[in-house]
C-alpha cells in the first residue's frame, strides 16, 4: 500500500501531493541551504516530478546558486514566495527536491542521509549512525537498489 504525501505553500495557493515513497531524503547542511532557509539545514525528499500532482497555482521557477556550483531552480509560490521544491541541474527537472517543511505531515520523511556536513553548524549533533558526507556522495553507493532503478528509468526517458 502506498502512502499519500500532501503539502503546499504557506498561503495555500499551491497544493501538491504524491503517492510514491521518496527515493531518498537529504538533510543538507551547505551554506546555501542555510541561507535559503534561514535555518541550520534544509530537508529535501527526492521524488519523480511526474509523480507530483499540483493543484491550485503553478509555482514559478527561480534560478539560484547552489553549493555544487551547478545551480538550482527553486519552485516558489507566486503569491507568498515560499519555496516548495527545487530542481538541481545534476538531476534535471525530472526529480523534485520537495521541501519537507512544506508537507502537511513532516514526520513522514525523516532524513536518510546528511550531506555537506563540512559546513554544518557546530552546535548541531548528527544523529548516531546517520550516514553523512562532507560534501555530496556517490549515488550508486548510497541509494537503495529500488531508488537506483527509479533513477535509471528517469534517465532513460
Contact 95, 139 (CB under 8 A): no
Q: What's the pLDDT band for 81 if we cut at 50, 70, 90? A: very high
Q: In three state form, how does the secondary structure of 17-67 look?
A: EECCCCCEEEEECCHHHHHHHCCCCEEEEEEEHHHCEEEECCCEEEEECCC
Q: Indicate the average pLDDT of the chain.
A: 92
Its domain, for residue 64, covers 5-156
Interatomic CA distance for residues 121 and 144, integer angstroms: 28
CATH number for 13: 3.90.1590.10
Q: Would you state the pLDDT for residue 124?
A: 96
pLDDT at residue 141 above 70?
yes
In total, how many domains does the chain have? 1
pLDDT in tens, 9-26: 999 999 999 999 999 999
The confidence band for 70, taking pLDDT boundaries of 50, 70 and 90, is: confident
Quote the CA–CA distance of 37 and 17 in Å, as a whole number. 22
pLDDT tens for 91-121 read 889 999 999 999 999 999 999 999 999 999 9
| The pLDDT value given to residue 2 | 66
**pLDDT surpassing 70 at residue 74:** yes
Given pLDDT bands bounded at 50, 70 and 90, which one contains residue 72?
confident
Adjacent-strand bridge partners of 111 = none
Q: Is residue 119 classed as helix, strand or coil in its secondary structure? A: helix
Asked whether residue 1 carries a pLDDT value surpassing 90, the answer given is: no
Amino acid at each position: 500500500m502506498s502512502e499519500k504525501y500532501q503539502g503546499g505553500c504557506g498561503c495555500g495557493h499551491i497544493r501538491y501531493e504524491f503517492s510514491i515513497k521518496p527515493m531518498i531524503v537529504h538533510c543538507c547542511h551547505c551554506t546555501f541551504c542555510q541561507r535559503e532557509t534561514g535555518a541550520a539545514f534544509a530537508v529535501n525528499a527526492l521524488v519523480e516530478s511526474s509523480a507530483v500532482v499540483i493543484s491550485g497555482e503553478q509555482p514559478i521557477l527561480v534560478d539560484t546558486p547552489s553549493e555544487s556550483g551547478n545551480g538550482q531552480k527553486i519552485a516558489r509560490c507566486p503569491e507568498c514566495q515560499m519555496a516548495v521544491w527545487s530542481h538541481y541541474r545534476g538531476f534535471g527537472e525530472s526529480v523534485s527536491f520537495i521541501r519537507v517543511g512544506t508537507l502537511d505531515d513532516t514526520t513522514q520523511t525523516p532524513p536518510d542521509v546528511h550531506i555537506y556536513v563540512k559546513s554544518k553548524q557546530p552546535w548541531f549533533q548528527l544523529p548516531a549512525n546517520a550516514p553523512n558526507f562532507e560534501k555530496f556522495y556517490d549515488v550508486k553507493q548510497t541509494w537503495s537498489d529500488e531508488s537506483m532503478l527509479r533513477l535509471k528509468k528517469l534517465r532513460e526517458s
